[in-house]
Amino acid sequence: MTPVPISASSPDNENSSQSRREEGALTGENHHLAIRGDWTLADYQTLKQKVLEYSGQQWNTEDINLKELGRVDTAGASLLVALLGPKTLSALTKQGGTLPQEQSALLQAVADALHDKPPPEPEGLAPISQFLTETGKTVEAIWHLIYLLSGFVGQILATLFAVLPRPKRWRVTAFVAAIQDTGLNALPIVALLTFLVGAVVAFLGATVLKDFGATIYTVNLVAFSFLREFGVLLAAILLAGRTASAFTAQIGAMKVNEELDAIRTLGLDPVELLVIPRVLAMMISLPILTFVGMLAGLVGGGMVCAIALDISPTQFMAIMERDIALKHFLVGMSKAPIFAFLIAAIGCLEGFKVGGSAQSVGVHTTSSVVQSIFAVILLDAGAALFFMQMGW
């Protein structure tokens, strides 16, 4: 009777294969590192603990022994990269005769894939390392944002100076439409908000100054605050939330729909076509809204003074004429064009940064509002310190 040969998948062969399996091991003595056994996913947690014990040391290729290394999969290869580093492991795989060709190819591929990733940090330093890493990323992101904004502002100014001497290239229709959108449509909300804030400031001032018998100076408080700060600041913050987001959404939607690519294909400049009219419209609208905000705030404060303090509108105006100099009005108005230019630039820049999805439009729209408000408040604080030092 002819004997039947045993197949490769017979139980005897499977048992012998399991008996030949050697769990991965790692030993380091006298600056020599021996790596042996199977480095596979089955022993990942055990091998990871051993790798962490030697993670802070540096090894030379001549001090590493891989001759007893068994089977290796991608999980084990990633641990070897974390232990030795991508460069050292890559150098070991290139040494002829050390490893089989299949293992060398796998280790080389994993080392190349993880080349830019840092080795794992010891667990004891993980919170500190993570905090420093996040702080560094935040600082780098802010610096990159400032760099992009500076370059975009320069591009706007260069295009503006190139277009202004050529009236044929002026986009009058887009400019007028932007003024209506940014100025006229925003007029009611700016007037209402500044009127209410003026009334609140006058009420609080009267409440505090009443204890000192100086309620008459509520007029000075309202006039100073709205002519120098609140009028321009409230109008700028409203436009930052209302108009900067609109600019980002409009330009971002055009980029998602590939309309910007079509504009460039026609030989037109998107900055000249889309940005310049919006920037100029904002620089005209915000001073007008600032003036309206100042008047509305003074009216709100005057109303509270007339109702709660028995200061008539005629007396209110007489005190303003006597105690409030024209320079306070000029200080407030001088900040409006600068805020307008900055808000429009940030809104348009975030629109150009939109990716190819609707989610990206929402992310950059939110980012433009936050950046615009932060930039306005920061610039206003710097301007206040400057004017104070100058005595204006």
Whether 8 is in a domain gets the answer no
Pairing between strand 69-72 and 64-65? Answer: unpaired
Whether 118 is in a domain gets the answer no
Residues 44 and 109 in one domain: yes
Pair 244, 346: CB distance under 8 Å: yes
Pairing between strand 64-65 and 25-29? Answer: unpaired
Whether 5 is in a domain gets the answer no
Residues 86 and 158 in one domain: no
Q: Is 144 exposed, middle or buried (0-12, 13-18, 19+ CB in 10 A)?
A: exposed
Split at pLDDT 50, 70, 90, the class of 17 is very low
Residues 174 and 29 in one domain: no
CB atoms within 10 A of CB 370: 14
Residues 212 and 298 in one domain: yes
Whether 97 is in a domain gets the answer yes
Whether 157 is in a domain gets the answer yes
Residues 284 and 216 in one domain: yes
Residues 108 and 163 in one domain: no
Structure tokens at 171: 């986009």
Q: Which of 240, 262, 247 is nearest to 177 (CA)?
A: 247
Residues 159 and 218 in one domain: yes
Structure tokens at 38: 């199977």
Whether 134 is in a domain gets the answer no
Contacts 24+ apart (CB under 8 A), 351-358: 351/247, 351/248, 351/249, 351/250, 351/251, 351/252, 351/254, 351/255, 352/152, 352/251, 352/255, 352/260, 352/270, 353/148, 354/248, 354/251, 354/252, 354/255, 354/256, 355/256, 356/255, 356/256, 357/256, 358/256
What is the pLDDT, as a whole number, of residue 15? Answer: 41
Split at pLDDT 50, 70, 90, the class of 29 is low
* pTM, rounded to two decimals: 0.65
Q: Is 107 exposed, middle or buried (0-12, 13-18, 19+ CB in 10 A)?
A: buried
Pair 222, 198: CB distance under 8 Å: yes
Whether 15 is in a domain gets the answer no
Residues 100 and 192 in one domain: no
Whether 143 is in a domain gets the answer no
Q: Indicate whether 41 pLDDT > 60.
A: yes
* Residue 64 structural domain: 20-113
CB atoms within 10 A of CB 4: 6
Residues 182 and 311 in one domain: yes
- What is the per-residue pLDDT across 337-377, written as a single tens digit (0 to 9) for each? 999 999 999 999 998 988 877 788 888 899 999 999 999 99
Residues 60 and 180 in one domain: no
Cα-based angle 158, 161, 162 (whole degrees, multiple of 5): 85
What is the pLDDT, as a whole number, of residue 19? Answer: 41
Q: Indicate whether 98 pLDDT > 70.
A: no
Q: Is 173 exposed, middle or buried (0-12, 13-18, 19+ CB in 10 A)?
A: exposed
Residues 315 and 193 in one domain: yes
Split at pLDDT 50, 70, 90, the class of 13 is very low
Split at pLDDT 50, 70, 90, the class of 5 is very low
Number of domains in the chain: 2
Residues 161 and 226 in one domain: yes
Output the domain CATH number for residue 99.
3.30.750
